[in-house]
Amino acid sequence: MRLFWHRGYAATSVEDLTETLQVSRSSLYDTFGDKRRLFLEALKFYSERVISITEHTLKTSSSPIAGIQAIFDGLIDGIGQEPGSLGCFMVNSVAELVPYDPDVTKLATEYADSMQQLLKTTLIEANEKKRVTKKHSPEQFAAYVYNAIQGMRVLIKAGATREQMQAIRDITVKSLQ
C-alpha cells in the first residue's frame, strides 16, 4: 500500500513490488494475480481503514461536532509527518486513474458514500441535539464536510501550513453551528 501511495500506480513497477514485499515475481502473481489486482486490494484496504478510523473517532467523541473537529485535528496533526505529506491514497488514486479505471472509480464512489454516510449520521445526531444549524440538511453538510476533509488532504500534501489548515477547520466547524 505504501509503495503505491508514494509512487502512484503507473510509477510502481512489478520489480518495485517484488523487492518491497520480498517475494518472487511468481509468488506475487500466484497471490494477487497481477499488479492491478494488488493495487485494488491495497486501495480497498486503505479505504476500509480510513472509514473504520473515522467511524471510531465520530462514535467515541464527546459530541458530534467534537467528533468532526477531531477528524480535522487528526489531519492537522499529520502535517510534517509521512502519512500527511503523502496526501490521501484515495485522492491520489482518483487523480491518477479516474475516470479511466472503472474499478478505481467504483472504490472511490463507495469510499465517498461511506464517509458521507458516517458524517450524515453524526450530523443527524447533532441536529437532534440542536447542536447544528438547520440552514442546510445533514446530507448537504455531510458533503460539505467531506469535501473540506478531502481538500485539506490535498493542501497538506502540497505543503499547506498548520495555520492554514486550522483556519479551514475552524471555518468549517463554525459553519455547522
Residue 150 in this model has a pLDDT that exceeds 70: yes
- Rounded Cα gap, residues 111 and 43, in angstroms: 10
pLDDT tens column, 73-92: 999 998 888 767 788 999 99
**pLDDT of 87:** 87
Give the range of the structural domain holding residue 119, as residue numbers without chain letter: 43-176
The 10s digit of each residue's pLDDT in 97-133 is 998 999 999 999 999 999 999 999 999 998 888 878 8
- The answer to whether residue 128 is domain-embedded is yes
What is the rounded CA–CA span in Å between residue 167 and residue 173?
A: 10
Nearest to 53 by CA among 70, 77, 76, 78: 70
What's the number of domains the chain is made of?
Answer: 1
CATH number of residue 88's parent domain: 1.10.357.10
The answer to whether residue 33 is domain-embedded is: no
Round the average pLDDT of the chain to a whole number and report it: 93
What is the per-residue pLDDT for 105? 96
Asked if 146 contacts 68 with a C-beta cutoff of 8 angstroms, the reply is no
In a domain, 18, yes or no: no
The answer to whether residue 25 is domain-embedded is no
pTM for this structure? 0.91
pLDDT at res. 83: 67
Q: How far is CA 39 from its chain centroid?
A: 16
For residue 156, being part of any structural domain is answered with: yes
In this predicted model, what pLDDT tens digit does every residue of 30-77 receive, in sequence order?
A: 998 999 999 999 999 999 999 999 999 999 999 999 999 999 999 999
Which pLDDT score is estimated for 174? 94
pLDDT of residue 99: 87
Closest alpha carbon to 87 in 145, 39, 158? 158
Residue 87 lies in a domain: yes
The predicted pLDDT at position 1 comes to 94
Q: Is residue 132 part of a domain?
A: yes
Residue 26: inside a domain, yes or no? no
Cis peptide before 99 (omega within 30 of 0): yes
